[in-house]
């Protein structure tokens, strides 16, 4: 068999936009880049996720815009990992990308220590490989008064001006980008095929829950590429226990989910993704507001795809699903806020003049800050926005394209498969907050889980995913730092090591936990104290230890980093014996404060040995952080 044919050259004047998105923001920003390029007359524009583009083809491109978000502690989105590995190959020379012009826009949060780390890394690496900058890197910040668009708007203007100067034939109508014609409506990217129940045999109607979820989500344009092959489980809740005191404002729950019929394949350090159910009354209200028929059957496909014959619909090969089921399983109408483009498209369908004017203002650069305050800051849902503009009646294909997808929520697993082979335990904070206008908002998934009664017939769709905390060997000593719900993965680590110690010798564990009050939110108190006694894996006698910081039980606040410094001798001794460090919890100040405390211990105790200690541990896979906002 001969060598595979080389890819065809890109069309003249093509602009390629590659994005890496974890929550959808980077994808939205990339699609906006593509839309504006098309408005300006760019002859060819392609907007692709990085995991659907072969990086070996990059030298054949001429103009590429990269849009990438940063997750956790400077981590790339999952969709970028393979692409990034390729760019780091040692055999790519300093002239590999000669002739390529590029621009990078990053999405991040300046509250994180490694702000926009991923975009900065891409920018630096492309320059090393010989590519040339179109304009300087743009850094979107979630904490900006307008969100990431506060930086994206001026950055895009600079991008189009620079491209226009370098190659006027690429973007001949820059004025159309800056002042778009809001009266022009393009086509939706998808189409909906409707047919009645009598048009297809009964066996094409899916009754199995797993298959129904798979069919709906593979049909959704925003979700069909998100199926990574992880096994799906339908789990029953057998325990729903509040861990914090009733009078304490924070509600943290311990959930136990079970598969009564089989063993669940997972490791400590893994995460469980849960697909939440939306309130049926909200789904019904959305369907009614949009004048949709909940009982009709539909097929959804990308516009411009292969022709669909009536026969293929009749024999069920295309698949079909009830409209109400599709909305419930794929479209987040109950919790996610729509994007700016949603308001632009709404303006085309507004029949009341005052509504049209307000929507066009929201979609304009001048209205950006007011839209951010009205929409994202207030966490308005798609249903709430549609109810605020009653004259708007958008076709269903536009609603499917523009409604944020219903996403799975990930939680650290807080149980060990050695102790619970057919169960998974979760430690979940039930999310609730007040908006600037004092409207109460609640987390969709956590609130839904909290409302489930144990041993009911409800089955929870779940997927096990490899976590960012690698499972340690039994012989490796551990330093675990997990304040609040950050203790979740470490409950699994301790449970696992206790099970391993019943079979043979294991290394000790130092665990630093933190909460506000001993009497109100000391999560899993009895569990930790049991393992800290006698020959437990957290016992001082065995070389381990359990140390708690109660931040509000005394006039001065005490946090986990203070306890680390107090126990500097123990921390240093266990590090000298080859310990791995694991940190989990809030993504803002805690990881930086904990790292600084560890650095101080190493500097005080280790002297010259302190130089580069963290980098050495990270290279050896012995310094691991998992955080969430």
User: What CATH code is carried by the domain that includes residue 537?
Assistant: 3.40.50.80
Nearest to 197 by CA among 294, 280, 286, 331: 294
How big is the chain by its Cα radius of gyration, in Å?
27
Run of H or E including 258:
strand 252-258
State yes or no: 23 annotated in a binding site.
yes
Q: In the structure encoding, which two tokens stand for residue 583, read together? A: 């940190």
User: Is residue 111 within 8 Å of residue 143, measured between CB atoms?
Assistant: yes
**SS3 state at 174:** helix
**Binding site annotation covers 525?**
no
328 touches 373 (CB < 8 A): no
Q: Which of 132, 147, 178 is the last residue of a domain?
A: 178
**Considering its fold, how many domains does the chain have in total?**
2
Q: For residue 80, which of 43, 27, 127 has the smallest C-alpha distance?
A: 27
Does residue 453 fall inside a structural domain? Answer: no
The boundaries of the domain holding residue 43 are: 14-178
Predicted pLDDT at 22: 79
Residues 6 or more apart whose CB falls under 8 angstroms from that of 96 comprise: 59, 129, 130
319 falls within a domain = no
- β-strand 423-429 against 478-481: which pairing, if any? unpaired
Q: What residues contact residue 605 under an 8 Å CB cut-off, 6+ apart?
A: 568, 569, 572
Q: What is the pLDDT of residues 95-143, one digit of tens each?
A: 999 999 999 999 998 877 788 999 999 999 999 999 999 999 999 998 8
Residue 188 counted as domain residue? no
On whether the CB atoms of residues 398 and 392 are closer than 8 A, the answer is no
Residues forming beta bridges with residue 423, ordered by sequence position: 258
131 labeled part of a ligand binding site: no
Q: What angle do CA 64, 69, 73 make, to 5 degrees?
A: 140
Q: Return d(Cα 124, Cα 464) in angstroms, integer.
A: 34
DSSP 367: G
Contact 326/224 with Cβ under 8 angstroms? no
The pLDDT value given to residue 204: 47
- Among 130, 86, 621, 147, CA closest to 379: 147
Instruction: Single out the residue in 178, 208, 237 at which a domain terminates.
Output: 178
The neighbour count for residue 296, using CB atoms within 10 Å, is: 15
The pLDDT of residue 205 is above 80:
no
Averaged pLDDT score across all residues of the chain = 88
Helices (H), 167-228: 174-178, 209-219
Rounded to the nearest 10°, the torsion over CA 230, 236, 241, 244 is 30
Residue 248 annotated as binding?
no
Whether residue 557 is annotated as binding a ligand: the answer is yes
Residue 21 is assigned to a ligand binding site: yes
142 is an annotated ligand-binding site residue: yes
DSSP-based three-state secondary structure for 435:
coil
Res 178: pLDDT: 62
Task: Give just the sign of the alpha carbon dihedral 41, 42, 43, 46.
Answer: negative
Question: Could you tell me which residues come within 8 angstroms of residue 221 by beta carbon, excluding any fewer than 6 positions away?
Answer: 189, 190, 300, 302, 400, 401
pLDDT of amino acid 311: 40
Say yes or no to pLDDT of 206 above 70: no
Would you say residue 11 has pLDDT above 60? no
Is 346 in contact with 361 (CB distance < 8 Å)? no
Is 25 annotated in some ligand binding site?
Answer: yes
Q: Is 380 annotated as a binding residue?
A: no
Confidence of residue 306 (pLDDT cuts 50, 70, 90): very low
Q: What is the mean pLDDT of residues 432-440?
A: 91
Higher pLDDT: 3 or 287? It is 287
Maximum alpha-carbon separation in the chain? 79
Residues 6 or more apart whose CB falls under 8 angstroms from that of 46 comprise 14, 15, 16, 17, 34
Percent of the chain topping pLDDT 70: 89
Between 83 and 614, name the one with better pLDDT.
83
User: Is 329 annotated to bind ligand?
Assistant: no
Pairing of strands 409-412, 271-274: antiparallel
Whether residue 308 is annotated as binding a ligand: the answer is: no
Q: Is 442 annotated as a binding residue?
A: no
Is 560 assigned to a binding site? Answer: yes
Q: Is the pLDDT of residue 442 over 90?
A: yes
Whether 561 has a binding-site annotation, put simply, is: yes
Helices (H), 468-620: 488-501, 525-531, 560-566, 568-576, 590-606, 613-619
56 is in an annotated binding site: no
Q: Is residue 95 part of a domain?
A: yes
Cα–Cα distance, 199 to 314 (Å, whole number):
6
Integer Cα distance of 529 and 545 in angstroms = 10
Is residue 12's pLDDT more than 60? Answer: no
Q: 317 pLDDT exceeds 50?
A: no
Is 198 annotated in a binding site? The answer is no
- Does the pLDDT of residue 344 top 80, yes or no? yes
Q: Are 475 and 497 in contact (CB under 8 A)?
A: no
- Listed in order, strand segments (DSSP E) in 423-506 are 423-429, 432-434, 440-442, 459-465, 478-481
Does residue 371 sit within a domain?
A: no
| Structural domain includes residue 458 | no
Burial 206-222 (b: 16+ CB within 10 A, else e): beeeeebbbbbbebbbb
Instruction: Quote the pLDDT of residue 309.
Output: 41
Can you read off the two tokens belonging to residue 220?
């959704």
pLDDT at 252 > cutoff 60: yes
Interatomic CA distance for residues 117 and 467, integer angstroms: 20
**Cα torsion 284, 285, 287, 291: sign:** positive
The secondary element (H helix, E strand) that includes residue 301 is strand 297-302
Residue 51 DSSP one-character state: G
Query: What's the rounded mean pLDDT across residues 429-442?
Result: 92
pLDDT-derived band at 50 (thresholds 50, 70, 90) equals very high
Last-in-domain residue among 132, 158, 178: 178
71 labelled ligand-binding: yes
Please indicate if the annotation marks 332 as binding a ligand: no
Confirm whether 244 is domain-assigned: no
CA distances 458 to 207, 406, 415, 467, Å, are 15, 19, 22, 26
**Is 628 labelled a binding residue?**
yes
Is 410 assigned to a binding site?
yes
Angle at 258 between CA 411 and CA 215, to 5 degrees: 70
Buried b (16+ CB within 10 A) or exposed e, 79-94: bbeebbeebeeeebee
Q: Is 0.85 surpassed by the pTM of this model?
A: yes
Give residue 314's pLDDT: 41
* 443 known member of a binding site: yes
- On whether 551 is known to bind a ligand per the annotation, the reply is yes
- Give the pLDDT confidence score for residue 368 in this predicted structure: 87
Q: How confident is the model at residue 42, as a pLDDT? A: 81
Is there a domain that residue 485 lies in? yes
Confidence of residue 608 (pLDDT cuts 50, 70, 90): low
Q: What per-residue confidence (pLDDT) applies to 173?
A: 61
Q: Out of 368-372, 382-386, 512-516, which region has the weakest mean confidence (pLDDT)?
A: 368-372
CATH number for the domain that contains residue 36? 3.40.50.360
* pLDDT for 286 beyond 60: yes
Q: Which of 264-268, 281-285, 303-307, 511-515 has the lowest mean pLDDT?
A: 303-307
């Amino acid at each position: 068999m001969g060598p595979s044919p080389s890819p065809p050259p890109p069309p003249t004047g093509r602009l390629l936009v590659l994005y890496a998105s974890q929550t959808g923001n980077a994808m939205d920003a990339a699609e906006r880049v593509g839309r504006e390029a098309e408005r300006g007359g760019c002859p060819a524009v392609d907007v692709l996720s990085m995991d659907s583009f072969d990086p070996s083809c990059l030298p054949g491109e001429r103009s590429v815009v990269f849009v990438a978000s940063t997750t956790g502690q400077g981590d790339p989105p999952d969709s970028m990992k393979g692409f990034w590995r390729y760019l780091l190959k040692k055999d790519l020379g300093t002239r590999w990308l000669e002739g390529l012009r590029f621009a990078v826009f990053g999405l991040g949060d300046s509250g994180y220590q490694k702000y926009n780390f991923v975009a900065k890394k891409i920018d630096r690496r492309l320059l090393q490989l010989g590519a040339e900058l179109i304009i300087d890197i743009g850094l979107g910040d979630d904490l900006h008064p307008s969100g990431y668009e506060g930086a994206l708007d001026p950055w895009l203007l600079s991008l189009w001006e620079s491209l226009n100067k370098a190659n006027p034939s690429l973007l001949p109508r820059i004025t159309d980008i800056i002042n778009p014609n809001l009266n022009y409506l393009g086509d939706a990217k998808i189409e909906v095929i409707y047919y009645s129940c009598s048009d297809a045999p009964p066996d094409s109607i899916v009754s199995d829950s797993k298959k129904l979820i798979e069919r709906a989500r593979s049909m959704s344009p925003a979700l069909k590429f998100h199926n990574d092959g992880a096994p799906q489980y339908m789990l029953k809740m057998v325990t729903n226990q509040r861990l914090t005191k009733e009078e304490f404002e924070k509600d943290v729950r311990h959930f136990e989910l079970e598969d009564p019929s089989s063993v669940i394949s997972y490791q400590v350090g893994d995460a469980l993704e849960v697909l939440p159910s939306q309130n049926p009354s909200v789904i019904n209200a959305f369907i009614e507001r949009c004048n949709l028929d909940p009982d009709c059957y539909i097929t959804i496909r990308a516009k411009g795809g292969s022709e669909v014959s009536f026969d293929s619909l009749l024999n069920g090969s295309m698949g079909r699903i009830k409209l109400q089921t599709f909305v419930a399983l794929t479209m987040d109408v109950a919790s996610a806020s729509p994007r700016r483009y949603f308001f632009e498209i709404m303006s085309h369908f507004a029949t009341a003049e005052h509504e049209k004017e307000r929507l066009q203002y929201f979609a304009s650069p001048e209205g950006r800050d007011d839209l951010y305050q009205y929409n994202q800051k207030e966490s308005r849902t798609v249903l709430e926005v549609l109810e605020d503009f009653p004259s708007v009646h958008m076709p269903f294909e536009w609603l499917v394209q523009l409604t944020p997808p219903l996403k799975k929520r990930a939680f650290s697993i807080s149980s060990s498969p050695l102790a619970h082979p057919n169960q998974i335990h979760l430690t979940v904070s039930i999310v609730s907050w007040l908006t600037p206008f004092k409207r109460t908002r609640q987390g969709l998934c956590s609130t839904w889980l909290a409302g489930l009664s144990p041993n009911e017939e409800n089955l929870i769709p779940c997927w096990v995913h490899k976590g960012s905390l690698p499972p340690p060997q039994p012989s490796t000593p551990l330093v675990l730092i997990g304040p609040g719900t950050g203790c979740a993965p470490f409950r699994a680590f301790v449970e696992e090591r206790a099970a391993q110690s019943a079979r043979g010798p294991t290394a000790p564990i130092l665990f630093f936990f933190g909460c506000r009050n001993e009497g109100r939110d000391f999560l899993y108190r009895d569990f930790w104290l049991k393992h800290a006694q006698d020959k437990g894996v957290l016992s001082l006698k065995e070389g381990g230890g359990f140390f708690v910081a109660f931040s509000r039980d005394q006039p001065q606040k005490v946090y986990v980093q203070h306890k680390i410094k107090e126990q500097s001798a123990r921390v240093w001794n266990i590090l000298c014996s080859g310990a791995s460090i694991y940190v989990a919890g809030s993504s803002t100040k805690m990881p930086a404060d904990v790292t600084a405390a560890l650095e101080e211990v190493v500097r005080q105790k280790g002297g010259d040995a302190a130089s580069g200690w963290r980098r050495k541990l990270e290279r050896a896979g012995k310094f691991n952080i998992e955080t969430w906002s």
